[in-house]
Amino acid sequence: MASHPVSASERPALAARATATALGLLLATFFVLPVPARAQVIEIASDGAVAVYDRPAVFTDAGVQPIPLARPTRSPALPDFRPRAARKFEVMQELSAAASAYGLAPELVHAVAWRESRFRHDAVSSAGATGVMQLMPGTARTLGVDRFDLRQNIYGGTAYLRRMLDEFGGDVGLALAAYNAGPAAVRRYGGTPPYAETQQYVAAIMGRLAAPAAALTPIR
């Protein structure tokens, strides 16, 4: 095939055709080859040069700037595969901090958590109560907390226990009954309701509070 010199008027058209060809080959390679899926930003300069960025980017006056990707966070609703000792340590820390925040004896908050869930954040009752201090969906909404989040669950439960103590004049037995059966039931019966579950609940926690520290059931 004979060749002929390229005139100055033909050069822009040839440069544009070459750029289009290179871009077409690049896109064909991207869509055909089995490479991992990724976002790409393609920049074509005024002189026809093509630059490809293989991560999210944004155009600014200073040029193309990559967009930093946020690290994924662990959902509190997912199973916690950390060692039992690490989970126990975190739960006990949060219980003590919540007790201090609401002016309660840590032994009381620990005893309620022990009775409610055996300190397990993944505990779910047949009634739908969730977490270490077993918050029901309606109670969590009233308190404005996420019951699937360990800290919010514990702080919400502790706040509710504080509220029950205030409502019943600091009577621990009545506050515990209200935590279990609801304050309306305690008011209706003028004391601990005659429910076997509630009476066993109050007796178990009061007995745990009265027991020597060495006799307390270890965390399982």
* C-beta atoms surrounding 177 within 10 Å: 25
Assess whether pLDDT exceeds 70 at residue 175: yes
Tell me if residue 116 is catalytic: yes
Q: How far apart are the first and last CA of the chain?
A: 86
pLDDT band for position 220 (cuts 50, 70, 90): very low
- For the chain, give percent helix, strand, coil, nearest 5: 50, 10, 40
Are 167 and 174 within 8 A, CB to CB? no
Q: How high is the pLDDT of residue 13? A: 60
Catalytic residue among 10, 116, 167, 197: 116
d(CA 134, CA 147): 8
Q: How high is the pLDDT of residue 194? A: 96
Instruction: Quick: pLDDT tens for 45-82.
Output: 555 555 554 544 444 555 555 544 433 334 444 566 66
Q: What is the mean pLDDT of the chain?
A: 76
* C-beta atoms surrounding 129 within 10 Å: 19
Name the percent of the chain lying above pLDDT 90.
49
Q: How high is the pLDDT of residue 67? A: 46
Q: How high is the pLDDT of residue 196? A: 96
Quote the DSSP letter at residue 93. Answer: H
Check: pTM over 0.75? Answer yes or no: no
Quote the DSSP letter at residue 1. Answer: -
Quote the DSSP letter at residue 147. Answer: T
Token duo for residue 139: 């109670």
d(CA 190, CA 188): 6
- The neighbouring-strand residues paired with 64 are 59
Q: How high is the pLDDT of residue 215? A: 46
Please tell me the least confidently modeled range out of 4-8, 75-79, 201-205: 75-79
Q: How high is the pLDDT of residue 170? A: 95
| Domain spans, the chain | 11-27+36-66, 84-212
Could you tell me which residue, 50 or 103, shows the higher pLDDT? 103
Are 178 and 168 within 8 A, CB to CB? yes
CATH code of domain 84-212: 1.10.530.10
Assess whether pLDDT exceeds 60 at residue 202: yes
Instruction: Quick: pLDDT tens for 120-171.
Output: 988 898 888 998 999 999 999 999 999 999 999 999 999 999 999 999 999 9
